Amino acid sequence: MSRLPATTARLRVLHQSFSERLLEGEVSAGGFHWTFSWRFANGELQVEPSLGRALIQDALLRFLLRADYQLEPGGDYAFTVRARF
C-alpha cells in the first residue's frame, strides 16, 4: 500500500491579543512562506501572499482550531499537511 503524501508545516506565533480576538504569525512548508492573521471570534483566517495559499489554508485553519488554547506568542509549532509541496 502506498503512503499518503505529507509535508511538515512549521508555525511561529508572533502576536496574540485576547481583547482583539486575534492571533498572528508565520507558517512555512515545502519552501513556501506565509504570514497569517486569524480572528478566532469569527473563524476568519487571512493568509498572505496568495502564492501557494490554497496548499496551506485549510490545514492551517484545522491546526489553529485544534490547538488554539495551547498557542503562545514566540512559540514554534509543527503540523502535518496531507499533501506534498
* Average pLDDT of adjacent 10-residue blocks, the chain of 85 residues: 86 95 96 96 94 94 92 95 86
* Within a domain: 40: yes
Residues 6 or more apart whose CB falls under 8 angstroms from that of 68 comprise: 23, 40
One-letter amino acid at 66 equals R
* 43 in any annotated domain: yes
pLDDT of residue 43: 87
> What's the grid cell of residue 68?
488554539
pLDDT reported for residue 68 = 82
Residue 58 DSSP SS3 = helix
pLDDT given at position 26 = 98
First to last CA, the chain: 21
pLDDT at 85: 80
Task: Report yes or no on 75 lying in a domain.
Answer: yes
- Domain assignment of residue 24, given as a range: 7-81
Residue 20, domain member (yes or no): yes
With residues binned 3-state (H G I as helix, E B as strand, rest as coil), the percentages for the chain, rounded to 5, are 20, 45, 35
pLDDT of residue 53: 94
Which three three-digit cell numbers place residue 4? 499518503
Q: Is residue 12 part of a domain?
A: yes
Question: How many domains, in total, are found in the chain?
Answer: 1
Looking at residue 2, the DSSP 8-state letter turns out to be P
Residue 7 to residues 4, 39, 66, 72: CA-CA distances in angstroms?
10, 25, 18, 23
